[in-house]
Structure 1
């Protein structure tokens, strides 16, 4: 545990160092370090602090609860939110260590090495220290996993997952995996209704609908639209790795589109079919957290909008996927292809954004397609790895293994 404490201490120092450099960059450099979303959060909390709606801030697409958490930005420090996000970032790392400890075949050293994938990751550190709120959401998800697998308190697990779904809707994809997992039997879907699943489901549903009802009472339809509905019809082709990028770009200029031309409204169909149903059905009984990893990877890959910050959605599960990973050439080749295609996309995006050169077609289009293919190959490899495990994990058998 002492080594874990040292790891967390070093991780905290790194985040403070990144934050301090960010203050310098914001003051003296043309390109600012602080995430533009943090400005949106701060402005929204300022409106709320003055007794008005946070949605008076244009582009605020989040639950008012986030504005409530950032109210101290207005009377303590404008950087309070960054410290909050960095703190939840560290909490995620701590929970990763605690959850990894339930696997008895892992030494303390290996647990810390795996946790370092999150805690010492410069991408993760940068995202939270710039003022992005993703770490807060991921901390809620990890709390749900911790209470599900370690503490085995299904009410609290459901509470935290319901809270995370309220913050950002995508964590609902984990519901099917958890319910399949809690059946305690392989391939017996009729056993979905049991004491554990009822406790978890009731807690999750009540938490989500209670919070959502409260927010709707105070902020009306505007809350529902900006927090949830907007993301179903969102048309955003800027900084977007998605294979739908070019289609969204063209559709954004078309008026009175019919249903079949609204790609932003139907793109979620294959995305949800695979991530919400097929993956959980096939993998959740083998390795639950690795299933979360693949689900999230699929959800991001098939999403109509993909930005770099979305990668942390599945990065938090990577330590669990890698805990028993067997090195092989194919996996490293697919990973190299994933990095290469992402780099190619970024080169075309740089020419478009900073040099003013139109690279939508063929540059960005084919690089988006290549990146999508690389993602699919990597996902397929991950699925093969999980299915190759000689495991039959149920809540009861896991308890015996500890």
Structure 2
């Protein structure tokens, strides 16, 4: 029996979407107010250190001094400060500009802004579910099963008997799925602590919303904006190109695939998207000069983070880090290879872009394609922390209606996803809090995490119904 959430719903058991939104807003406002009290009375702060970095950068922008002046030619005329005067600020200046009200309005303005982006993302999810995803899933569930695998095959069900076919039932399911984002503790905790991930999530969902409706000019511009904010969303462009080129029919063979990816419509999308990215970057460069270019983009290319994290490359980078060999000696060949960005960048890009080419064929497959692209991008990134998981779990509420699996299978996947993280964290605790030299053991558990999460991804891919 396939997993169908609607069959477990009782119409009276799910509150209205307005109620869910109200609870979500009150929850976030309450946590932000609590964070102010907690930070004033505790040594261990609730607010994320990144929020202090953002706030300091905003302060530097508003209050230029002799040693704090925007380096671009336009910036000097505007009399703006340099957000990169704040060490470890490695984001677009737009973030610092958005948080300037922290200085003249309220120190927690940015937290309220990030929380609002969380809420808007939930509203967008609800809209996508009710207008596009659930209607298609209902139509598919009502059609005769064509899958020969009895483990995943759907039963042949007439439309009138489909438990999700009722508009009321569909609305209930959309509210429940949107609530998994709005009431997700990881989501609302991160935004109320002052992380800016919710802004990027909103940009990504806006891009998806436009793409699903074939508003390709808007989707291209929004993709350029999202990529300017943080570079990884550019991989979604490959799936969009495949969908745009395939709107007149799915290509067959290599020549057909090339023709699908390269034609005047896909070229126009690429020009608009890249043009938006370049124009934003040129504007930032004109104001803040080379520091913007280096801190926002170039730094991340050759960044070597030897601190422990989930990445399978962490231990190799740790061993190859300059502090682990005599500075006066020449690094060995293997140290040069491990220190090269291509060691992690090559496999990561091959998988992320390849998934976009393989699965980006139709608009209704975009959620699945983007989910797979993001998942492989995260688990094969040279730096991976728990916060990065939000990049792909963002798509789960939209993807669940398109998955067919037994409840037991769903629990297995969830158990492995959580269990491999818990296994890694138990060893990381020894390193972080007890100071034990367990780097190798932590790396081994990182490899187990990688294999486990890859198995989870394979299970989700297997259960997807295109």
User: Distance between the aligned counterparts of 1:11 and 1:261, measured in 2?
Assistant: 45
Partner of 1:394: none
1:192 aligned to 2:269?
Answer: no
1:349 aligned to 2:428?
Answer: yes
User: Distance between the aligned counterparts of 1:126 and 1:251, measured in 2?
Assistant: 35
Alignment of 1:242-253 (within 5 A): 242-252=311-321, 253=323
| CA deviation after TM superposition for structure 1 residue 239, in Å | 4.9
Q: 1:44 aligns with which of 28, 49, 57?
A: 57
| CA deviation after TM superposition for structure 1 residue 198, in Å | 4.3
Q: 1:7 aligns with which of 4, 10, 20?
A: 20
Unaligned 5+ residue runs, structure 2?
1-14, 64-79, 139-163, 165-169
1:231 aligned to 2:260?
Answer: no
Q: Is the 8 A contact 2:207 2:219 kept in 1?
A: yes
| CA deviation after TM superposition for structure 1 residue 193, in Å | 4.3
| CA deviation after TM superposition for structure 1 residue 99, in Å | 1.0
Deviations 1:84-123 (A, max 9, x none): 1100111111111111122313600111111112111000
User: Distance between the aligned counterparts of 1:45 and 1:37, measured in 2?
Assistant: 12
Partner of 2:280: 211
Q: 1:281 aligns with which of 348, 357, 365?
A: 357
Q: Is the 8 A contact 2:62 2:100 kept in 1?
A: yes
* 40-49 or 278-287, which deviates more: 278-287
1:117 aligned to 2:146?
Answer: no
Instruction: List structure 1 segments (4+ residues) > 4 angstroms apart after TM superposition.
Output: 193-196, 254-258
Unaligned 5+ residue runs, structure 1?
392-402
1:90 aligned to 2:159?
Answer: no
Q: Is the 8 A contact 2:413 2:456 kept in 1?
A: yes
The alignment of Structure 1 onto Structure 2 pairs a total of residues equal to 385
Partner of 1:240: 309
Deviations 1:142-184 (A, max 9, x none): 111111213x322211111100100100000100001101111
TM-score by length of 1: 0.91
Q: 1:171 aligns with which of 222, 229, 233?
A: 233
Partner of 2:77: none
Deviations 1:19-49 (A, max 9, x none): 2222232122222110111111111111111
Partner of 1:298: 376
Partner of 2:244: 182
Alignment of 1:81-160 (within 5 A): 81-101=110-130, 102-103=132-133, 104=135, 105=138, 107-150=170-213, 152-160=214-222
Q: Is the 8 A contact 1:62 1:167 kept in 2?
A: yes
* 253-262 or 292-301, which deviates more: 253-262
User: Distance between the aligned counterparts of 2:89 and 2:380, measured in 1?
Assistant: 24
Return closer, same or farther for 1:21/1:237 CA change in 2, 3 Å cut-off. Answer: farther
Alignment of 1:299-378 (within 5 A): 299-328=377-406, 329-362=408-441, 364-378=442-456
* 260-269 or 168-177, which deviates more: 260-269
Deviations 1:201-247 (A, max 9, x none): 23211110000011112222221111112112212233511111111
**DSSP 3-state at the match of 2:53:** helix
**DSSP 3-state at the match of 2:16:** helix
**DSSP 3-state at the match of 1:224:** helix
| CA deviation after TM superposition for structure 1 residue 265, in Å | 4.3
Q: Is the 8 A contact 2:403 2:460 kept in 1?
A: no
Partner of 1:398: none
Return closer, same or farther for 1:193/1:170 CA change in 2, 3 Å cut-off. Answer: same
User: Distance between the aligned counterparts of 2:267 and 2:312, measured in 1?
Assistant: 39
Bigger CA radius of gyration: 2
User: Distance between the aligned counterparts of 2:284 and 2:176, measured in 1?
Assistant: 41
